[in-house]
Structure 1
Amino acid sequence: MKVLITGATGLIGTHLSNLLLSHGIHINYFTTDKDKIKSLPSFEGYYWNPEQCIIDKSAFIGVDAIIHLAGATIAKRWSSSYKQEILQSRVLSGNLLYKTLKENPHQVKQIISASGIAVYPSSMDENYDENFTDYADDFLGNVVEKWENSVRLFNKIGIETCYLRTGLVLAKESVPLQKLLKPISMGAGAAFGSGNQWQSWIHIDDAVKIYYFALANKLSGIYNVVAPQPVTNTMLVHSIASQLGKRIILPNIPQFMVTPFVGEMATLLYDSQKVDASKIISEGYKFRFNEVDEALKDLLSK
């Protein structure tokens, strides 16, 4: 089997590439950095530039499925220009893939696209599953809506589409976890806002295994990629502290104190999405990490 990956050098892309290679799957990948192009027996790089509509069509030769992960990180201050980059990096890349496949012969049967749980409006009470059909009325909700719409086009040319709405990915090298770890390790950690906002998380191992599961089982439609047991912000902060042998003694940090430093991106800390994992479980996926304590123990004890 041959898979084409966009965003292969990102957090999920790097871990997923290693998993697919371990299963004997050949990977072609796109990169906008010519210095990152490799030509190995089962891992071949190709250049593209979605902003300039440049793409190496030979990357599609023999490809059975596309895993579309490309997109600028949201863990960086959202200036007006960077917000545009966040959106365009997702939409323009999807549009270029679609245009290329529409206009050229290929054997691609499935596209699996990353997406985000920011699609769901912030709520302390709702338990969101994939049947929720609206989009959050904010910047990230708008990004996810246009992101998913760009992938939905592939249905028009007979390619099955699968959207994986991913929550907070816990990995040693993930920026959000590192930003929480630093103050807690120094004894200066605290919960944010009321601390009651829901954070739907997932261990990196389960995240990439769900991508592989969707590929192996030819899934289509929308799936939430979150652990079965979401936690509140207070629970997450205290769990991290416990794994580090620290205590949380400072009062919660109100949003007005954080916004001047990170701007609109503060919503990542203060919004609440309690997201349901039942659908992927019903397909037969078995989580390795169901509880945040065991996930953090695995990550922080290594």
Structure 2
Amino acid sequence: MAKTVLLTGGTGFVGKHLTDVLIDNGFLVAILSRSDQKNTPSITYYKWDLNKNFIDPEAVLKADYIIHLAGEGIVEKRWTKNRKKDIVESRVKPIDLIFSVLKEKNKTLDAFISASGVGIYGAITSHKICDETTPPADDFLGTTCQEWEKAVDKIASLKIRIVKIRTGIVFGKGEGFLKKIVPSFKAGFGAVLGNGKQYLPWIHIDDLCQIYLKSILDEQMQGAYNACINDTTTNSRFSKTLANLFGYTIWLPKVPAFILKLVLGEMSVAVLKGQRVSSEKIQKAGFEFQFTDLEKTVVSCLN
């Protein structure tokens, strides 16, 4: 009998792609939704409402695996006090709701797999390469990811295998990060942000989905794994590559850091800072990235 994977955030960028991958690999998919959705032969929708602390317990009880992708966008709005609270709670609350059902119903899972972020290492730029043993930072991005992962650890207390996928910038065709940035470059107005030296740890959506699939199938996977390419891509290199693909050399001056700070406030650190991140652990677990060349990857997302 086919096993069921329950997704939070199943209708988002990663969730939509992952749903297709799971179905192609013989899994049934269940998705938590705030609105009524029509079921299909491969997808079942269940209601939940974080504002009311409600989740349909059947969604959890019928799941063999749960993948937690839900969370407010990090760079969608300025980081006001309330926005920061929403960012953290949108990641932690779903886990708390699921934990309550698991514990109350004495339900077990084959695995609980959660997204996390390489932001756990902090909004700083240095030549140090961060791996999964690097201490978390105490800035907003670092503490957000810590709270996120701490909530996941509660699931581990129920003797359930947990995997945390610390994700970098996700590239996909017409979606995600590129959807926001491509229009200005396509129009000939691309520019380097700040000094351009901040690293840009990235991963293609197809590779990310395959990592999630592996985390289901490989029972040896446990704990945190970085999900991004370990290369020397900086904001400057990425910007020049993208401009070149559209047939021009960047002519605009670099966007000064103080301008970005005025426009974005504290959130500006998300685009002005960036660490190199190691992919050694996931590769040692047997995963092979299919997208490792920056230019070829971006081209595949533009065509």
Q: TM-score, normalised by structure 1?
A: 0.95
Alpha-carbon shift at residue 180 of structure 1 (Å)? 2.2
Report matched runs for 1:131-150 at 5 Å.
131-132=133-134, 134-150=135-151
The corresponding residue for 1:57 is 57
8 Å Cα contact 2:231-2:276 kept in structure 1: no
Q: Which runs of 5+ in 2 are unaligned?
A: none
Alpha-carbon distance in 2 for matches of 1:240, 1:213: 31
Alpha-carbon shift at residue 138 of structure 1 (Å)? 1.3
Alpha-carbon shift at residue 83 of structure 1 (Å)? 1.5
The corresponding residue for 2:172 is 171
Matched, 1:286 2:280: no
Alpha-carbon distance in 2 for matches of 1:244, 1:106: 53
With 138-147 and 262-271 compared, the bigger mean Cα shift is at 262-271
- Paired AA for residue 279 in structure 1: K
The corresponding residue for 2:87 is 86
Matched, 1:75 2:75: yes
Secondary structure at the aligned position of 2:211 is classed as helix
- Paired AA for residue 60 in structure 1: V
Alpha-carbon distance in 2 for matches of 1:15, 1:44: 16
Alpha-carbon distance in 1 for matches of 2:149, 2:232: 24
Alpha-carbon shift at residue 175 of structure 1 (Å)? 4.3
Identity of aligned residues (%): 34
Alpha-carbon distance in 1 for matches of 2:218, 2:48: 29
8 Å Cα contact 1:72-1:85 kept in structure 2: yes
Alpha-carbon distance in 1 for matches of 2:98, 2:174: 29
CA RMSD of aligned residues (A): 1.4
Go from structure 1 to structure 2 and tell me whether the alpha carbon gap of 1:139 and 1:174 turns closer, same or farther (over 3 Å shift). Answer: farther
Alpha-carbon distance in 1 for matches of 2:44, 2:252: 50
Deviations 1:49-73 (A, max 9, x none): 1232211111123321110111111
Alpha-carbon distance in 1 for matches of 2:176, 2:13: 10
Alpha-carbon distance in 1 for matches of 2:75, 2:15: 16
Alpha-carbon distance in 1 for matches of 2:47, 2:236: 43
With 178-187 and 234-243 compared, the bigger mean Cα shift is at 178-187
Secondary structure at the aligned position of 1:39 is classed as coil
- Paired AA for residue 291 in structure 1: D
Secondary structure at the aligned position of 1:41 is classed as coil
Go from structure 1 to structure 2 and tell me whether the alpha carbon gap of 1:70 and 1:156 turns closer, same or farther (over 3 Å shift). Answer: same
Q: Which runs of 5+ in 1 are unaligned?
A: none
Alpha-carbon shift at residue 265 of structure 1 (Å)? 1.8
Alpha-carbon distance in 1 for matches of 2:267, 2:248: 27
Q: TM-score, normalised by structure 2?
A: 0.94
Alpha-carbon shift at residue 108 of structure 1 (Å)? 1.1
Deviations 1:31-60 (A, max 9, x none): 12x23x231121000011123221111112
8 Å Cα contact 1:229-1:291 kept in structure 2: no
Alpha-carbon distance in 2 for matches of 1:138, 1:228: 23
Deviations 1:118-147 (A, max 9, x none): 001313221001111x22221111110100
Report matched runs for 1:229-248 at 5 Å.
229-248=231-250
With 194-203 and 51-60 compared, the bigger mean Cα shift is at 51-60
Secondary structure at the aligned position of 1:40 is classed as coil
8 Å Cα contact 1:165-1:222 kept in structure 2: yes
The corresponding residue for 1:10 is 12
8 Å Cα contact 1:110-1:159 kept in structure 2: yes
The corresponding residue for 1:117 is 118
8 Å Cα contact 1:91-1:147 kept in structure 2: yes
8 Å Cα contact 1:240-1:296 kept in structure 2: yes
Secondary structure at the aligned position of 1:286 is classed as coil
Alpha-carbon distance in 1 for matches of 2:99, 2:243: 45
With 191-200 and 75-84 compared, the bigger mean Cα shift is at 75-84
The corresponding residue for 1:199 is 200
The corresponding residue for 1:27 is 29
Count of residue pairs brought into register by the alignment: 298
With 6-15 and 259-268 compared, the bigger mean Cα shift is at 259-268
Structure 1 runs of 4+ aligned residues shifted over 4 Å read none
The corresponding residue for 1:128 is 130
Alpha-carbon shift at residue 168 of structure 1 (Å)? 0.4
Alpha-carbon distance in 1 for matches of 2:125, 2:225: 20
- Paired AA for residue 39 in structure 2: S
Secondary structure at the aligned position of 1:198 is classed as coil
